[in-house]
Amino acid sequence: DAGVTQSPTHLIKTRGQQVTLRCSPKSGHDTVSWYQQALGQGPQFIFQYYEEEERQRGNFPDRFSGHQFPNYSSELNVNALLLGDSALYLCASKIRKGERGYTFGSGTRLTVV
Amino acid sequence: AQSVTQLGSHVSVSEGALVLLRCNYSSSVPPYLFWYVQYPNQGLQLLLKYTSAATLVKGINGFEAEFKKSETSFHLTKPSAHMSDAAEYFCAVSVGFGNEKLTFGTGTRLTIIP
């Protein structure tokens, strides 16, 4: 049983560009959250999606946006990239009405130069 | 708002010794608490979780944690460290039914000395 799958694993972008990161949740999961983990820090909550809508949002600017598709997969988009956006982006999934505790993917390492 | 404080950004223990990683939380409502482990270049793996049932929670790989409301603590322990336990450990809190946002601590890097 595949867990949470994220693509790509690594990405290098130039400041000012736009990037899209993708996530396929664990089979049977319908809720997806995204986290940003800067080097040496704990993950920071970006937003959560279920039923194809953003349900909660952390303290991130509007440059960060997302989408959830009918098959529960999700995308994270970041516009006008800044050097400070360099981080590991983690996708996590769960069953909305299931037990607490997310399953995390291995992440996408984004480097902005 | 909830928060988590992990005391000690780096902890070193000898192989076979007790592992103790400290976590204190702040929450205005009963919290749900988690410990995650992160190996290099990997995502987070759930070790254990407290969800208001038993205060002593047993997890994977021989780890356990005890919820102490009076001390607002949720420390992670393992009786005997193995080399394979070397990793980054994160404590996290969420509050409220349906509010699944996880707030993480800054992490503790565990080093095992042969």
Among B32, B38, B44, most A C-beta atoms within 10 A, so best to mutate, is B44
The 10s digit of each residue's pLDDT in A41-94 is 999 999 999 999 999 999 999 999 999 999 999 999 999 999 999 999 999 999
Q: Cβ–Cβ of A45/B49 closer than 8 Å?
A: no
Predicted pLDDT at A107: 95
Q: State the residue for tokens 């999606």.
A: A49
pLDDT of amino acid A100 = 65
B34 at the A interface (CB within 8 A)?
yes
Query: What Rg value do the Cα atoms of chain A yield, rounded?
Result: 13
- Point out the residue among A31, A42, A106 whose CB comes nearest to the CB of B107: A42
B18 CA to chain A: closest CA distance, Å? 24
* Range list of β-strands (E), A27-112: 31-37, 44-50, 53-57, 64-68, 74-78, 87-94, 103-104, 108-112
pLDDT at position A1: 60
Q: Percentage helix, strand, coil, to 5, in chain B?
A: 5, 55, 40
Bridge partners of residue B3, in order along the sequence: B26
In the block, tokens 């940003």 appear at A36
Q: Which residues of A touch B32 (CB under 8 A)?
A: 100
The whole-number pLDDT of residue A31 equals 93
- Distance, in Å, from the CA atom of B50 to the CA atom of B90, rounded to the nearest integer, reads 14
A106 vs B contacts (CB less than 8 Å): 41-43
Phi first, then psi: give them for residue A37, nearest 5 degrees.
Answer: -120, 105
Cis peptide, bond prior to residue A8, ω within 30 of zero:
yes
Contact A93, A31 (CB under 8 A): yes
**Edge-to-edge strand list for the sheet holding B64-68:** B3-7, B19-26, B73-78, B64-68, B56-58
**Which pLDDT score, from 0 to 100, does residue A101 have?**
74
Q: Closest Cα partner for A63 from A7, A5, A113, A15?
A: A15
Chain segment B67-83, per-residue pLDDT in tens: 999 999 999 999 999 99
pLDDT for the residue B51: 82
Cα–Cα nearest to A32, from A79, A82, A70, A83: A70
pLDDT category of residue B97 using cuts at 50, 70 and 90: low
B 38-77 → A contacts, CB under 8 A: 41-46, 49, 51
Q: Assess B90–A contact: CB distance below 8 Å, yes or no.
A: yes
pLDDT in tens, B5-58: 999 999 999 999 999 999 999 987 888 899 999 998 788 999 999 887 788 999
B38, B47, B93: which to substitute to probe chain A, counting the most A Cβ within 10 Å? B38
User: Residues near B100 by Cβ (< 8 Å), separated by ≥ 6?
Assistant: A31, A33, A48, A56, A94, A100, A102, B94
Q: Select from B4, B33, B101, B109 the residue whose CB has the most chain A CBs within 10 Å, as the one to mutate to test that interface.
A: B101
Torsion sign, CA atoms B27, B32, B37, B41:
negative
